[in-house]
Amino acid sequence: MDDLFLAVLRDGAETNLRRQRQALADHEPLRALWRLNSTHGARLFMEFMALANHRKEIRSEIAAYAQRFGDIEESAVTLAMRSHGVDVEAF
């Protein structure tokens, strides 16, 4: 079962990372990221998080995905802040 869970999780993560790249290409990338984070796959991801409480492999996969997703979002927000003259070191 773990292999099946991991395959579904990885497929969903790759789909969400693809959606994230599309959101960043939008004319309003931060709004698009907000919509993405508010709607796509949240319920299924929460189920995987619950499953991760009992399955170490799932927990590791979620952590790796979250790191990738977060790094990309952090870069996008930093670029947006800089483009609006915000001192990113102050924040």
pLDDT band (50, 70, 90) for residue 40: low
Q: Is pLDDT above 80 for 35? A: yes
Q: Are 64 and 78 in contact (CB under 8 A)?
A: no
Q: Is the pTM of this model over 0.75?
A: yes
Q: Are 64 and 32 in contact (CB under 8 A)?
A: no
Q: What is the 3-state secondary structure (H, E, C) of the chain?
A: CHHHHHHHHHHHHHHHHHHHHHHHCCCCHHHHHHHHHHHCCHHHHHHHHHHHCCCHHHHHHHHHHHHHHHHHHHHHHHHHHHHCCCCCCCC
> How high is the pLDDT of residue 37?
84
56-84: average pLDDT: 91
